[in-house]
Structure 1
Amino acid sequence: MSSVSWWKEPLRIIQPNMQVRDTDRIDPERLARQLKDMHANTVVFNVGGIYAWYRSEVPYHHINEYLPENRDLLGEMITAFHKEGLRFVARYDFSKADDYVYQKRPEWFVRDINGEPEIIGAKRPGNWSLLMSTCINTGYRNEELAVPVLKESLSRFDIDGVFFNNPGTITCQCGSCRDKYLAMFGKEMPEQRSEYDRSWWSLCMRHNIELLNDTIKSVREDVPVLGYYNLFNERLADRKAGTDLLCTEPQNVLSQGHQHIPEFWKPALSIKLGRSRAEEAAPLGIVHSCPGMDWRHTGLPPADYAFWLAQIPAYGGQIWHSLTGVPDTIRDKRILKIVTEHNRKEATIASEMHGAKSLAGVALLWRSGKSTEGWADGLVNRQVSFDIIPEESSDLEVLKRYRVVIVPEHYPVGAEELSRWSAYVEQGGKLIVEGRLSGGDNNQVAELLGIQPRVTISERLAASYLRFKGTGNPLQIGMEDTELIPHRGHVVYCKPAAGSRVLATLVPPFSPLESVGAPPERASMSVERTDIPLAVYHEMGKGQVLYLPFSLSELIDEFKLGEHYQLLDNIVDMTAGKERLLKVTSITGLQATLYQNGDALLLHLVNGTGRRPLANAVPLHNIEIRIPLTLLPNPSSVEGMLENGQLSFTTSGDELIVTVPKVDVWEMMKVQ
């Protein structure tokens, strides 16, 4: 059934993670009909690796002992899927193997510093063999087993695509890894993981996936490889190599407890990062139906599940559902309803979103860490349409696509970055820079930021405040009734350069943290005003730079106070101006994204209001949307394609104004 470009069309994937002991419960034709009825158009299913789901002839390839005799179950499934118009993506997992393989070929396996192998599930109850982690730099995951398995299965079955589960590099001290490390970096492999070259893990994975991809293409040139990337791995270029279609796995892991609940923006940012490198098709977002692998036989709370899923298409991605079993074996039937309804909605908007381009006047330079995450949290929560720029993609031409570029604290800076940012500002860009930068010539940094070269980093401050300076201050909008907002953390003590304007200053701590309330009669401020800047604004060429000598992102990430979100909102308004492109009624938990496809604007609203995990959807009412008419000069209709139907609209001045009556979970409006 394979064709060269099938994977470039809109995809809705379901992956039934079948338990081997339930193998005899698979009815291929029934399963194909069920998945088709759930609006899937692609299926991911096990083929090889830990278990072979066919009668493999490759030595040491463990055949699923529960396969029915005298039947080609895998072949029957692929035929049934194709009959229903479903593509078949073969899932392989070469990250582990049975202990009997270890006994035969011990050189294939991960070793710790003491030479011991890594054993998985040693305490698992039941009559199971042990699993051992395989090393990415040895024969099992390369020429001796993985390569012949791929050649065998691709030659034997009509496979449409390939996906490698758990393809990453496990820290290993085996001889193969030590030899490779020495050859790559010219020095012995360290004993401590923290001392490794940061590129080691990504480069090993890249070399492995490129080999496997070359093998696949040598057998079937038309078969794409679906490859992982990770939101918190900066080397996205290595993840992209050897891969035709990017996928990421923003799990909604609730089983770690409420104190460790995943950030609400995890699917949103994961897809944004993937779109920054996607070339021929939108990235796939893999969402597991369970609240954690330890609870994989039950489902996520339906409201939280629907909210999590909605972020994938709303941020320009494609959905990939990971389920525990097939519909007949799934124990929590709520899952099936949520998946079916979500896929129905995705199918409704698929043609509209296919090839749509993000509309964003703001870009965030991405490097994983709390400083970047705080900005992302604030931008999403204040409905700012923004894109992510990975570190390796931040050249001048990319920066010039955006009216505003945000440089988070600790972002690495060298001569090239400073030159690029200065050119961006000189040519009319607006740069927001936060806190301490990592590196760079002091004089060049100071010139860019509009401060004097000599700076001092404070101790970590508590019981301190930010004071707005002057009347009509654009950073104080919406906070006119308060002269102070909370501050905590380090400050870059600096002085403004000539021509710079100070918009906010520091009020230093009135007490050490341990005595702030003992007694309250001593709570008066010893110093109510300083000239220590917390916001410095200056013009440079045709553009401007706003420097925040503290970490707003850290405050947002740690405290999530309304004042900090409002300050971020004001910063964006002040710098972006009309290039903000989108104004939405500000509601914490509401997400908004804007796209253009041909002569239509597409606006997604995702409702995540309420305390997570969401027990129920809390409907939002009368959400006002304002979009500049410069994006679409003569709007003729506005339609809510998922929840509201045709909507009335008005124009005022240079804006299109729409009020959305209600959003339960997810709405996409089409402005024609």
Structure 2
Amino acid sequence: MSKSIEAESRPNWWAMRPWRQIQTNLREIDMMDINAEQFVADLQEFKATSVLLNAAGIIASYPTKLPFQFQSPFLQGDSLQDIIEACHKADIVVTARTDFSKVRRPVYEQHPEWAYKSVQGNIVDYNGDVHVCLNSDYQQDYAIEIIRELLTTHDFDGIFFNMGGYQVKDYSYNYHGICQCDNCQRKFKAMFDLPLPIKEDMKDPVFRKYKVFKNITLQEHSKRIYDAITSINPNLLISNNLNQRSVYRQESNTAIARSLPHWQYDASDNTKFVLGSYKPMISLNTTVDFIDYQYRHVAVSPHQQELRLYQNLTNGGGLDYYLIGRLDNHEDKSGYERIKKAFHYHAEHQDEYKDITSRSTIALLRGPDGSTSEYQGWFRFLAENHYMFDAIMVPVAAEVPWDKFKAVIVPDYQAISDELARKLDAFAEEGGIVISVSRGGFSDDTYERRSSPALKCLGIERVNEIVEDMTSSCFKLTDKTGFSRFPVTDLAYIDGSYIYADYEDKVEKHLSLIPPHMFGPPERCYYTLVTDHPGFTVNPYGKGKGIFIPWRPGSLFHRQGHTNTIDLIADLLEHTAGLKRIEGNLSPMVEAALFAKEDGSSELLHLVNGSGHFGVTFYAPVPMYNLEVTIPYDKEQKPQSVKSLVTGKDYEFSADSGSLSVKVPSLELFEAIKIS
């Protein structure tokens, strides 16, 4: 085998490289006439530094000697090793894409015990590919044999695992339920002495234990794979493995049946939570070229793809593009021009993106067990009011330093550990602000309901009742102090759930709940009762405070998007919490983020114009002119230079009283301003 670029000799080599990756998701037929030199030349047109390509698992894209790995019958073109060697000559690293979630039908027939089993005892056979279970000997042991063969016969620099974990849907999104195979039954009984649950229901205590079971077995499997790979090559990059903080790769994609609206901050969100939670891990969030599984040959809007790439850069990540087939034979190249533009920009300025860290002052908690809509609503509250924030995954939040944060937001994240609850209380006691929404911390990390809320800093004495349907309710702004965005509006509307609670005497109550009242016919559309139940509370706690919001404004805003909701939260953040944001005349449609070089030599201000997101379509953004942006700037000396990396022009600026104002003549899609 040829020597790889760096992986065999340099530990953590991935941290030293700029990341511009392309995934060519090679089909079987692409190997019939693949040409290594052409393959590399196509990558070089994009200035790619990394490529991810199909190698092993469901189908081996190389001659395999293993009896239970199905070898592709189309290996007539250049070999995988030829492609790897050509890439290495061009200083392009190569990651092997593997998929151990399925086996071909002939393999299943020899090992039926490897298969996933539904509640009805059925397997999932999708086009001759049979789903296999994570707990089967195939994924636990035989996959490691395949990995060993692959890595000892090919000089890959990294490895990526597609569709890992517990798969319960097929490519048509048919749901097949919790796996009931003998392996799962045996392991679950050994862990909890219980039979497997047959449906996903958080009200079922057995299902709650099953979620714990999945977490434990996934962590064990991840460690097992990590140990196996590092025993073969200790310097091989293992994507998404938290035992090795190398590269975390995920997707911004679309799906025909997915509920709308599109999550317009998808790439920003994915990048933020990786860098906020797993540093020094590199975030690679790929823009998926195609519309959905069923339409892999037709691309989404080029403007949507370009927006995703610049959102990655804006929030400190690398660039990644994913298409079906090869670059040369792809049948919809409409995205190529704009993708190349972003890749070329990064190639020209890649040194500016090394060793940077966000200057965020707010942490927004995120995780697999939270309310997605509540989280996304709060993401929008912060982004569209230009607050600097990081997203942090709940499972590691207790381990991440919070020194730079002024506030931590818990957006209806119910299942948090005692350790994290103590850290949140300590954060408030030491002078921070904790904003907890709805049922945040009402359950422990094994999904069991607590007898009382975990967060002492909120000042909740007891929860009396949770009403799930508050249709037609409002909050009355009886005192408008601190609500500058409501000069002629006296009400804020509420929908969804509300928590009736008793509070400690020192807790300040704000807003007054108008409970559900008549809304038809118009002649009887009025309320007669204004209660003392609050829209939010503030509890002084040590040197800081806890703010409790007993309803779900994020879910409401994510679903409906009315300014009545975002204005209320904007006033809460600005006046009640006293948080500082990026100021100026930026539109809410402009995302802003501020990063600093770790050596303090410069700062990087990014602006992304999201105005092209119109309804469910992504068009070119509407250019904006004569912008002024004011950021915190605490250095004693004024900067020597404020320069656009996009236009190459120096921008007019002024600095005083701990802030820096920059005049930006125009903004199309993306701006990057270096302050040094």
TM-score (structure 1 length as normaliser): 0.88
Matched, 1:59 2:42: no
Q: Superposition pairs for residues 205-604 of structure 1, below 5 Å? A: 205-227=218-240, 240-241=242-243, 243-256=244-257, 260-367=260-367, 368-369=370-371, 370-395=373-398, 398-412=401-415, 416-437=419-440, 438-439=442-443, 448-450=457-459, 453=462, 455-458=464-467, 460-471=469-480, 473-474=481-482, 476-494=483-501, 497-511=504-518, 516-518=519-521, 520-527=522-529, 529-575=530-576, 577=578, 580=580, 582-597=582-597, 598-604=600-606
Among 611, 622, 625, the alignment partner of 1:621 is 625
Residues in 2 aligned to 1:309 and 1:105: alpha-carbon distance in whole angstroms? 43
Q: Quick one: structure 1 residues 297 and 657, their matched pair in 2 at CA, closer, same or farther if it must change by over 3 Å?
A: same
- Aligned partner of 1:669 in structure 2 is 673
Listed as ranges, the gaps of 5+ residues in structure 2 are 168-177, 202-206, 444-448
* Deviation of the 1:173 alpha carbon: 1.9
Matched, 1:38 2:46: yes
Residues in 1 aligned to 2:348 and 2:188: alpha-carbon distance in whole angstroms? 50
Q: Quick one: structure 1 residues 66 and 495, their matched pair in 2 at CA, closer, same or farther if it must change by over 3 Å?
A: closer
Q: Quick one: structure 1 residues 72 and 413, their matched pair in 2 at CA, closer, same or farther if it must change by over 3 Å?
A: closer
Q: Quick one: structure 1 residues 323 and 535, their matched pair in 2 at CA, closer, same or farther if it must change by over 3 Å?
A: same
User: Structure 1, residues 218-275: CA drift from partner, whole Å, max 9, x if none?
Assistant: 2222211112xxxxxxxxxxx623x443424233315337x53431122222222212
Which stretch shifts more, 462-471 or 289-298?
Answer: 462-471
Residues in 2 aligned to 1:351 and 1:377: alpha-carbon distance in whole angstroms? 30
Residues in 1 aligned to 2:452 and 2:62: alpha-carbon distance in whole angstroms? 66
SS at match of 1:260: coil
Which stretch shifts more, 292-301 or 248-257?
Answer: 248-257
Which stretch shifts more, 420-429 or 295-304?
Answer: 420-429
Which stretch shifts more, 133-142 or 434-443?
Answer: 434-443
- Aligned partner of 1:127 in structure 2 is none
Residues in 2 aligned to 1:310 and 1:661: alpha-carbon distance in whole angstroms? 19
Residues in 2 aligned to 1:138 and 1:418: alpha-carbon distance in whole angstroms? 36
Residues in 2 aligned to 1:159 and 1:590: alpha-carbon distance in whole angstroms? 40
Residues in 2 aligned to 1:416 and 1:523: alpha-carbon distance in whole angstroms? 48
Counterpart AA for 2:674: K
* Deviation of the 1:444 alpha carbon: 7.7
Q: Quick one: structure 1 residues 165 and 489, their matched pair in 2 at CA, closer, same or farther if it must change by over 3 Å?
A: closer
Which stretch shifts more, 317-326 or 36-45?
Answer: 317-326
- Aligned partner of 2:82 in structure 1 is 76
- Counterpart contact for 2:245–2:278, Cα < 8 Å: no
* Deviation of the 1:631 alpha carbon: 5.7
Matched, 1:15 2:48: no
Residues in 2 aligned to 1:84 and 1:48: alpha-carbon distance in whole angstroms? 24
User: Structure 1, residues 308-359: CA drift from partner, whole Å, max 9, x if none?
Assistant: 2221221222222111121221111212222211211222342222221111
Listed as ranges, the gaps of 5+ residues in structure 1 are 122-129, 228-238
Q: Quick one: structure 1 residues 110 and 413, their matched pair in 2 at CA, closer, same or farther if it must change by over 3 Å?
A: closer
Residues in 2 aligned to 1:426 and 1:523: alpha-carbon distance in whole angstroms? 45
* Deviation of the 1:671 alpha carbon: 1.2
- Counterpart contact for 1:110–1:172, Cα < 8 Å: yes
* Deviation of the 1:626 alpha carbon: 0.9
SS at match of 1:53: coil
Among 158, 167, 188, the alignment partner of 1:181 is 188
Residues in 2 aligned to 1:619 and 1:461: alpha-carbon distance in whole angstroms? 41
Q: Quick one: structure 1 residues 649 and 156, their matched pair in 2 at CA, closer, same or farther if it must change by over 3 Å?
A: same
User: Structure 1, residues 471-515: CA drift from partner, whole Å, max 9, x if none?
Assistant: 5x11x112212122222233333466444433322233341xxxx
SS at match of 1:334: coil
Which stretch shifts more, 15-24 or 439-448?
Answer: 439-448
Q: Quick one: structure 1 residues 92 and 382, their matched pair in 2 at CA, closer, same or farther if it must change by over 3 Å?
A: same
* Deviation of the 1:547 alpha carbon: 2.5
Q: Quick one: structure 1 residues 295 and 414, their matched pair in 2 at CA, closer, same or farther if it must change by over 3 Å?
A: closer
Q: Quick one: structure 1 residues 644 and 551, their matched pair in 2 at CA, closer, same or farther if it must change by over 3 Å?
A: farther
- Counterpart contact for 2:398–2:419, Cα < 8 Å: no
- Aligned partner of 1:231 in structure 2 is none
SS at match of 1:398: coil
- Counterpart contact for 2:536–2:547, Cα < 8 Å: yes
Counterpart AA for 1:465: C
Identical-pair percentage: 24
- Counterpart contact for 1:505–1:535, Cα < 8 Å: no
Counterpart AA for 1:388: A
Q: Quick one: structure 1 residues 632 and 557, their matched pair in 2 at CA, closer, same or farther if it must change by over 3 Å?
A: farther
- Counterpart contact for 1:249–1:287, Cα < 8 Å: no
SS at match of 1:88: strand
Q: Quick one: structure 1 residues 328 and 443, their matched pair in 2 at CA, closer, same or farther if it must change by over 3 Å?
A: closer
* Deviation of the 1:458 alpha carbon: 4.0
Residues in 1 aligned to 2:35 and 2:467: alpha-carbon distance in whole angstroms? 67
Counterpart AA for 1:551: R
Q: Quick one: structure 1 residues 390 and 633, their matched pair in 2 at CA, closer, same or farther if it must change by over 3 Å?
A: farther
Q: Quick one: structure 1 residues 467 and 250, their matched pair in 2 at CA, closer, same or farther if it must change by over 3 Å?
A: farther
Q: Quick one: structure 1 residues 416 and 89, their matched pair in 2 at CA, closer, same or farther if it must change by over 3 Å?
A: closer
Matched, 1:158 2:155: yes
* Deviation of the 1:40 alpha carbon: 0.3
Residues in 2 aligned to 1:591 and 1:405: alpha-carbon distance in whole angstroms? 20
- Aligned partner of 2:170 in structure 1 is none
Matched, 1:101 2:98: no
* Deviation of the 1:419 alpha carbon: 4.0
- Counterpart contact for 1:414–1:441, Cα < 8 Å: no
* Deviation of the 1:423 alpha carbon: 2.5
Counterpart AA for 2:137: G
Q: Quick one: structure 1 residues 549 and 35, their matched pair in 2 at CA, closer, same or farther if it must change by over 3 Å?
A: same
SS at match of 2:62: coil
> Matched residue pairs, number?
639
Q: Quick one: structure 1 residues 458 and 119, their matched pair in 2 at CA, closer, same or farther if it must change by over 3 Å?
A: closer
Residues in 1 aligned to 2:198 and 2:502: alpha-carbon distance in whole angstroms? 45
Residues in 2 aligned to 1:56 and 1:414: alpha-carbon distance in whole angstroms? 46
Counterpart AA for 1:352: E
User: Structure 1, residues 604-661: CA drift from partner, whole Å, max 9, x if none?
Assistant: 2112124132133222223321112216752222122124632111124332111222
Counterpart AA for 1:557: H
TM-score (structure 2 length as normaliser): 0.88
SS at match of 1:344: helix
User: Structure 1, residues 124-146: CA drift from partner, whole Å, max 9, x if none?
Assistant: xxxxxx111122222322333x2
Residues in 1 aligned to 2:344 and 2:358: alpha-carbon distance in whole angstroms? 23
- Aligned partner of 2:172 in structure 1 is none
- Counterpart contact for 2:30–2:326, Cα < 8 Å: no
Residues in 2 aligned to 1:575 and 1:59: alpha-carbon distance in whole angstroms? 66
- Aligned partner of 2:210 in structure 1 is 197
Counterpart AA for 1:319: L
Counterpart AA for 2:126: I
Counterpart AA for 1:375: W
- Counterpart contact for 1:374–1:555, Cα < 8 Å: yes
SS at match of 1:54: coil
Among 91, 112, 119, the alignment partner of 2:125 is 119
* Deviation of the 1:441 alpha carbon: 7.5
- Counterpart contact for 2:288–2:322, Cα < 8 Å: yes
- Aligned partner of 1:234 in structure 2 is none
Q: Quick one: structure 1 residues 446 and 260, their matched pair in 2 at CA, closer, same or farther if it must change by over 3 Å?
A: closer
* Deviation of the 1:12 alpha carbon: 0.8
Residues in 2 aligned to 1:54 and 1:324: alpha-carbon distance in whole angstroms? 19
